[in-house]
Amino acid sequence: MRKELIIKIVICFILSIGTNYAQDSTLTYSTGILVSAANSKTPYWLQSNQYGVIPSSGSFISGQVGISRIYNPGNPRFFQIGGGIQLIGNTGKTNSFFFTDLYVSLKGGPVELSIGQRQEVMGITDSLLTTGSFAMSGNARPYPRIKISTPGFVNIFPLNDIISFKFSYSDGLLGSSKISYGNVKEVPNVYLHQKSLYLRLGGLRHKISVYAGFNHQAMWGGEEKIFTGGLNTAEAYKYVILGKPWAGSRVGNHFGTIDAAAELRGRAWDILLYRQSIYEDGSLAKLSNIADGLNGLRFKRKNIDKQDLSFKINTVLLEFIYTKEQGGGEFDFDKGIFGRDNYFNHYVYRQGWSYRGRAMGTPLIGSQNMYRDDIPRDSLNFTGNNRIVALHVGLTGSWNKTDFLFKGTLSRNSGTYDFPFPAALTQTSFQLKAERPVSIWNKSLLSISLAADIGKLYTNNAAITLGWRKVGFLR
């Protein structure tokens, strides 16, 4: 009853601001349906980085409907109100209904306060074709939180974007978690603290822009119950936000990246080069895991002429991912050697770096439930494979009013330091999608997609999907 009441309040709020604040923002809608026929499990690139919307196994039918209130950039008012709600319904081997977006927001100048759950990612990367940001990729369902941020870059000097910044600070609720080490087997409430700060040198009208910044996330909660003499919630939060050591370790499960990027704006193409370096327990400060990270190079066509019906490539993305170093293979607390970082696993919280069974960071480090049945499992860990080397290619193109998208990933997977695979397992996953407008319901979009997994890590999966979607303005 409590959740139903919250949903009704959000819907009424969004609809009311559509009437009372029509000049502030714009009411939009989206709806769609996706039908998939698969031979076994859902292929990797159909289900990854989809905010947990797509079922992970078998054939299915998925539908979604949503409304949102977006800010009007031409409105002179200092305060504007927004919000969004999106309902997902899936049927197949299992049935599910849930909300991805369910939030309200208030924007005062460049600063926004948002309350609820909302689809977002964290880190500098391509937004469409990437394998996913390491820390927060959009692979798992959104979680409820309170967040204050600048959604876009803000000029440090008025009327001059030569130097600008963006930041975020939020705290959210992940629900209960099983505990692998401590006085209890489960705690009722686990939280996620998150903050970020990014700087940009060179504005959008300059030929070159340089970006640098960091994001920091920490999963924590239940310290009083888990540890004898553990910190209470208020004290634990202070240790979490500062990353302050307690009892020879840090409070909570910390994970983040330090990002750097450069963008060159040419006449016909924009080029983006980016790097995400992982930090978890101090290895990066000692440069002992400096090789680990995400490297990307993107070429994006500047002006796309919709009247040009000839075949053309619009975006090319190349990524290289490496996570095998992890501070080295030695962990010795007495000697101060902290290797075996064991990305996405944690010795206290059994769910590791995941939410509702899906990795919150890059889906390349996924749940053990995704693997072949003959690969050994460790029930105390989220993932059994976090030492990977991967090459990824993403493409978008168009021809005769049809848009194309391709994602292809080749990886070699070595398990973990504690439980290595006898030999590296090679895995290839790809997706090819075509979408074009049709005259149904005043121009909507019809799509077809082929996807497959071939290799030794996942079962050999294949699927074909047919989709229809419609987006537009209600006022």
Query: Has residue 52 been placed in a domain?
Result: no
Number of C-beta neighbours around residue 183 at 10 A: 12
Answer whether residue 334 shows pLDDT above 70: no
- The residue-averaged pLDDT of 291-315 equals 92
Query: Has residue 16 been placed in a domain?
Result: no
> How confident is the model over 375-406, as pLDDT tens digits?
988 888 999 999 999 999 999 999 999 999 99
> How confident is the model over 84-138, as pLDDT tens digits?
999 999 999 889 999 999 999 999 999 999 999 999 999 999 999 999 999 999 9
Q: How confident is the model at residue 4 (pLDDT cuts 50, 70, 90)?
A: low
Residue 271 belongs to domain spanning: 121-462
Answer whether residue 284 shows pLDDT above 90: no
Q: How confident is the model at residue 262 (pLDDT cuts 50, 70, 90)?
A: very high
Q: What is the C-alpha separation between 137 and 117, in angstroms, rounded?
A: 15
Query: Has residue 443 been placed in a domain?
Result: yes
In sequence order, which residues have a C-beta less than 8 Å from that of residue 318 and are 6 or more positions away?
Answer: 296, 297, 298, 391, 392, 393
For residue 407, give the nearest of 460, 364, 436 by alpha carbon. 364
Query: Has residue 127 been placed in a domain?
Result: yes
**Percent of the chain residues past pLDDT 90, beyond the cut:** 78
Strand partners, 381: none
What is the per-residue pLDDT for 19?
47
What is the per-residue pLDDT for 22?
45
Mean pLDDT rounded to a whole number for the chain:
91
Count how many domains the chain has.
Answer: 1
What is the per-residue pLDDT for 163?
97
Q: What is the C-alpha separation between 458 and 465, in angstroms, rounded?
A: 20
Amino acid at site 403: D
Long-range contacts of 17-22 (CB under 8 A, 24+ apart): 17/69, 17/81, 17/82, 17/83, 18/69, 18/474, 18/475, 21/80, 21/81, 22/475
Q: How confident is the model at residue 340 (pLDDT cuts 50, 70, 90)?
A: confident
Q: How confident is the model at residue 335 (pLDDT cuts 50, 70, 90)?
A: low
Answer whether residue 172 shows pLDDT above 50: yes
Query: Has residue 49 been placed in a domain?
Result: no
Torsional sign, CA 115, 237, 49, 382: negative
Q: How confident is the model at residue 243 (pLDDT cuts 50, 70, 90)?
A: confident
Query: Has residue 201 been placed in a domain?
Result: yes
For residue 376, give the nearest of 420, 341, 417, 345 by alpha carbon. 420
Q: What is the C-alpha separation between 266 and 300, in angstroms, rounded?
A: 10
* 340 dihedral zone (left: phi>0; alpha: psi -120 to 50; beta): left
What is the per-residue pLDDT for 73?
78
CATH (domain of 242): 2.40.160
Query: Has residue 223 been placed in a domain?
Result: yes
Higher pLDDT, 205 or 410: 410
Query: Has residue 36 been placed in a domain?
Result: no
